[in-house]
Amino acid sequence: MKRIHFSLREWLQHTASAGYVAKGIIYLTIGWLALLTTIGLGGSESGASDVIRKIALWPFGRVLLALMGLGLTAYVLWRLAQAFWDTERKGNDWKGWLQRLGFAISGGLYATLAWQCATLIFHSLSQSQGSGSSQNTEQLMGIPGGRWLLLAIGLVFVGVGFHQLVRAWRRAYRKNWHLQSRPNPPLPLLEAIARLGLAARGVTFLLIGGLLALAAWRLSPGDAQGLGAALDLLAHQPFGDWLLGAVAVGLIAYGGYCFINAGYRRVRHQRH
């Protein structure tokens, strides 16, 4: 049984690491494109789906998409393991189930990105561009109670955004790092990257949640947009270039934080 637990932990470790690498690439690209926009060298305010479509146009884009799709699938499997096997030992009280539900939702969101990678690999780019955020939101609002469901989703994003800011402030990520197995880790640098990245992601999630809630309140699907629209909103504020630049650097740092987790993240398994 001990060997089985060890094998499960090894599998989860490799799965989590591959997933964090894929996630890190996406956030690094998002941040880099936003930073290029800020300094006037092209770029764009892109979300994760936009970035995946851009990667498809790169040299060897389909090969990169295949690798990223596998990494994202691994991340989804790890999130589902956290949710259903309780590998993080969150427990069965209401708080534990809420956290495990968050893992499952996160897995579902990244499953859509993995599916998009597969679609771009096996079909033409034009076929993958059929539905956007506004169209999906319009469909959601068309079902009974869809407006309130959209509002609830927006509030979840706001809650996650605040949670990311709290994690950055309290340095809660430290408990998930197995630093003792790495000789002389550059801890101040790792912490600076983690705190900046989590704070930037928290800000963007607050903006996304606000846009979703606004769409539900106004019954306007066009207001419901993702990360790209949140970055565009920042860019059009007073001192927008500075705001967008700061968040862009933060999203690049969050990509770095994902790479840190690929190497340092402690992966647990459920006790029996």
How far from chain centre, in Å, is Cα 210? 17
In 3D space, the residue among 75, 77, 79, 64 whose CA is nearest the CA of residue 21 turns out to be 75
Mean pLDDT over residues 137-150, rounded?
Answer: 70
pLDDT of 22 strictly over 90? yes
| Comparison of pLDDT for 126 and 95, the residue scoring more | 95
For residues 247 and 200, what is the distance between their CA atoms, to the nearest angstrom?
5
Give 64 or 268, the one with higher predicted confidence.
Answer: 64
Looking at residue 89, the DSSP 8-state letter turns out to be -
The mean pLDDT value of the chain amounts to: 82
pLDDT at 124: 52
CA dist 137 and 199 (Å) reads: 27
Whether the per-residue pLDDT at 121 is higher than 50: the answer is yes
The 10s digit of each residue's pLDDT in 248-264 is: 999 999 999 999 999 88
Residue 17 to residue 74: CA distance in whole angstroms: 8
C-alpha distances in angstroms, 83 versus 99, 102, 103, 243? 8, 8, 5, 35
Output 121 or 162, whichever has higher pLDDT.
Answer: 162
DSSP-derived letter for residue 238 is T
Tokens of 236: 């059009």
> Could you read off the pLDDT of 191-239 as tens digits, one per residue?
999 999 999 999 999 998 888 888 777 766 665 567 777 888 888 888 8
Q: What does the alpha-carbon distance between residue 7 and residue 15 come to, in Å, rounded to a whole number?
A: 12
Reading phi first (left if > 0) and then psi (alpha if -120 to 50, else beta), residue 219 is in: left
Separation CA 154–CA 206 (nearest Å): 9
Q: How confident is the model at residue 4 (pLDDT cuts 50, 70, 90)?
A: very low
Q: Is the pLDDT of residue 74 over 80?
A: yes
Short-list 242, 239, 241, 208, CA closest to 226 = 208
pLDDT for 130 equals 44
Q: Would you state the pLDDT for residue 137?
A: 60
Cα–Cα distance, 174 to 167 (Å, whole number): 10
Q: What is the pLDDT of residues 166-188, one digit of tens each?
A: 999 999 988 888 877 667 778 88
- 216 or 272, higher pLDDT: 216
Phi, psi of 265 (to 5 degrees): -65, 125
pLDDT for 148 beyond 60: yes
pLDDT of residue 163: 92
Residue found under tokens 């809420």: 98
Other beta carbons within 10 angstroms of residue 240's beta carbon come to 14
Of 16, 17, 20, the closest CA to residue 256 belongs to 20
- Spatial separation of the C-alpha atoms in residues 260 and 267, rounded to whole Å: 13
Distance CA 192, CA 57 (A): 33
Cα(162)–Cα(10) distance, rounded to whole angstroms? 32
177 or 21, which is more confident? 21
Lowest-pLDDT range, 5-9, 78-82, 254-258? Answer: 5-9
